[in-house]
Amino acid sequence: MNDHQTARDSSRDGFVVRDELPADLPILEEELLWLTDLLATLLSPGPKESPDND
């Protein structure tokens, strides 16, 4: 099993793990976490709106 496959298998919910990102990619840890959370929200099933929104 190669390193790329290992990294892919270790990803959570199909998201790319940090090990797969290029080393020279100018992104902060906080930005990566924010983007991961945003993608999780967008890709999660079901509406995320509060019941108060009509």
> Torsion angle, CA of 50/42/25/27, rounded to 10 degrees?
0
Does residue 16 carry a pLDDT above 60? no
Residue with tokens 């999660």: 44
Indicate the average pLDDT of the chain: 68
The C-alpha atoms of residue 39 and residue 9 are separated, in whole angstroms, by 18
Query: Which amino acid is located at 6 in the chain?
Result: T
Residue with tokens 């990803």: 11
Contacts of residue 43, Cβ cutoff 8 Å, sequence gap at least 6: 13
Measured from the Cβ of residue 51, the count of other Cβ atoms closer than 10 Å reads 6
What pLDDT shows up at residue 38? 92
Q: Average pLDDT in the 12-34 region?
A: 70
